[in-house]
Amino acid sequence: MKDTDPNYRVLNLMVDPFNDASTSYFHKSIGGYHGAKLRRYQELIEQQISKNNQNVLNMLNTKYFIGRGQDGSPVPQLNMAALGNAWFVDNYRLVPNADSELTALSKFEPAKTAIVDVRFKGLVEKYNSQKDTTASIKLTDYAPNKLDYVYKAGSDQLAVFSEIYYEKGWNAYVDGKLTPHFRADYVLRSMVLPAGEHKVEFRFEPTFFKTGERVSFASSLLLILLLLGGGGFEIWNGNRKKQ
């Protein structure tokens, strides 16, 4: 808790990490408990994390492992290989389907290569890898429904973001312009970013939520009009009786 950067994750080995909710009270955790986990993440747990795949833990930005010390108290172990909130990769590898994407995580280097399902080929096939050792990308603001990043690069870059890809609601913007993003490494988000200094935003904007807001507003407006109309009728009717 002395770490001044709150945007990292932990793996608490003092408990069953995927059937315990206490860790999430204090930290962002790669585990936790929910009766309805995302199926894709559950598959990642069963086929990769449970097998102690360090590369997968690194791509999930697992900065600390919490283990038991000699006196039985919790001890944090710093993971220097954690990849952070976002990073640029040198290249990508297309795989034929989601199953192949999950299997490919068994042997890959997430800091250098992004594993991409062929269904997203159209979003990466025009990207020409140009390594830029001076390029940088940083998370500047975090909220459950909005994430802000800034980056600087001398050439177009392929970025991977350590956040779960969920196409039904999340949109990506570069300098305020809606920009396509896609899934990489089975569960994460990725984008091809143009050279220069820019701002990237991810916003949760589900269509059903906006529709619900409009319906709610229309219903509220109709109720107000009915109440006003009813009140006006009562006043008019009362004045009519007095006459």
pLDDT (mean) for 190-200: 97
Question: Which amino acid does the sequence have at 229?
Answer: G
Residues 34 and 71 in one domain: yes
Q: Is residue 159 part of a domain?
A: yes
Q: Is residue 41 part of a domain?
A: yes
Asked if residue 242 has pLDDT above 60, the reply is: no
Residues 149-187: tens digit of each pLDDT: 999 999 999 999 999 999 999 999 999 999 999 999 999
Residues 234 and 177 in one domain: no
Residues 184 and 233 in one domain: no
Residues 198 and 154 in one domain: yes
| pLDDT for position 235 | 53
* Number of domains the chain contains: 3
Residues 60-74: tens digit of each pLDDT: 999 999 999 989 899
Residues 96 and 172 in one domain: yes
- Domain holding 191, by residue range, is 86-204
Residues 49 and 124 in one domain: no
Residues 48 and 93 in one domain: no
Rg (CA), the chain: 24
Distance CA(40)–CA(102), nearest Å, equals 9
Q: Is residue 4 part of a domain?
A: no
Distance CA(10)–CA(111), nearest Å, equals 19
Q: Is residue 209 part of a domain?
A: no
Instruction: Pick the last residue of a domain from 45, 78, 111.
Output: 78
- Mean pLDDT is lowest, of 105-109, 149-153, 229-233, for 229-233
Residues 71 and 146 in one domain: no
Distance CA(233)–CA(230), nearest Å, equals 5
Asked if residue 233 has pLDDT above 60, the reply is: no
Instruction: Pick the last residue of a domain from 62, 78, 94.
Output: 78
Contact 28, 10 (CB under 8 A): yes
Residue 194's nearest CA partner among 157, 223, 231, 237 is 157
Residues 30 and 135 in one domain: no
Residues 120 and 172 in one domain: yes
Q: Is residue 30 part of a domain?
A: yes
- pTM of structure: 0.84
Residues 69 and 117 in one domain: no
Q: Is residue 2 part of a domain?
A: no
Contact 7, 85 (CB under 8 A): yes
Residues 171 and 125 in one domain: yes
Residues 123-142: tens digit of each pLDDT: 999 898 888 999 999 999 99
Q: Is residue 109 part of a domain?
A: yes
Instruction: Pick the last residue of a domain from 50, 78, 106.
Output: 78
Q: Is residue 50 part of a domain?
A: yes
